[in-house]
Amino acid sequence: MLLAPLALVLSPELQEPASQGQPPPPASEWSTSLSTFWTEPPDESGYLSAILTADRGPLHLEAHWAYEARDTFSIFAGKNFPIEGDLEGHFTPRLGVAVGDAEGIVPALNFEVGWKQLSFLTDIEWMIGTTSDTDNFLYSWNELDWAVSERFTLGLVGQRTNVFDQELSVDRGFLMGLNLGKTTLTAYVFNVDVDDPYVSIAFGAGF
């Protein structure tokens, strides 16, 4: 689905990979990020989705709008486990609940790692429906990014979503990102090799 996630990264959370060479904030301080996505799916109206994250030390909090389904709100709590060494990043399992058009319990995890100019992100959710109207479903958002310069990023993206109907079970495509300091602007183009490609535009900010 589009939200991933996310970049997040995005401090992933902005659905973008974790930036390299940046020291983490002190454990006593909050670090937050907001990612918004405008998606134009084939044969359906466009829609806006969003991811809000807040981290303090190992504590990770996250909220989604229109991620698991349209008109659906979900909220999560989890724990950050840092990855240090030549590869830097984090692994964050979390547990959430969703209400709205989709209702259920949502175990999830986020994994981000970077090495030099390369970074990889994957965010996975398993929707366990608690009503007859909500099917169990595996959501996934994945990015492999290359920082061409301090401002520009190119990469590959793949996602699995249940927010709208599409021809493929896994959408795949390309991304182009612009880093503006604490904000990012990213364009995603999915399924360019089929009859109905579609576009998502993401804006992210960290605080």
Predicted pLDDT at 13:
36
Q: Is residue 53 over pLDDT 80?
A: yes
21 part of a folded domain:
no
10 part of a folded domain:
no
8 part of a folded domain:
no
H or E, element range at 107? strand 104-115
Lowest average pLDDT, out of 11-20, 147-156, 171-180, 183-192, goes to 11-20
Q: What is each CA distance from 45 to 75, 149, 178, in whole angstroms?
A: 25, 35, 26
Strand-pairing partners, residue 72, are 100
Question: What is the rounded distance in angstroms from the CA atom of residue 40 to the CA atom of residue 198?
Answer: 6
9 part of a folded domain:
no
Q: CA end-to-end span of the chain, whole Å? A: 25
Q: Which residue has the higher pLDDT, 8 or 199?
A: 199
Q: What is each CA distance from 176 to 57, 161, 180, in whole angstroms?
A: 31, 21, 13
Q: What is the pLDDT of residues 177-197, one digit of tens each?
A: 999 989 999 999 999 988 889
- Contact between residue 16 and residue 187 where contact means Cβ atoms under 8 Å apart: no
Q: Is residue 23 over pLDDT 90?
A: no
| Mean pLDDT confidence for 150-162 | 96
Question: What is the rounded distance in angstroms from the CA atom of residue 96 to the CA atom of residue 140?
Answer: 15
Domain residues for the domain of 159 are 31-206
Q: Is residue 16 over pLDDT 70?
A: no
Model confidence band, residue 96 (pLDDT cutoffs 50, 70, 90): very high
Question: How much is the pTM?
Answer: 0.83
Question: What is the rounded distance in angstroms from the CA atom of residue 134 to the CA atom of residue 31?
Answer: 33
Predicted pLDDT at 25:
55
23 part of a folded domain:
no
120 part of a folded domain:
yes
Count of the separate structural domains present in the chain: 1
CATH number of the domain encompassing residue 47: 2.40.160.40
User: Mean pLDDT of all residues in the chain?
Assistant: 88
In 116-206 the beta strands, taken as DSSP E runs, fall at: 118-129, 137-147, 152-160, 171-179, 183-190, 198-206
14 part of a folded domain:
no
| Mean pLDDT confidence for 197-203 | 96
Phi, psi for residue 87 in degrees, rounded to 5: -100, 130
Q: Is residue 9 over pLDDT 60?
A: no
168 part of a folded domain:
yes
Predicted pLDDT at 26:
61
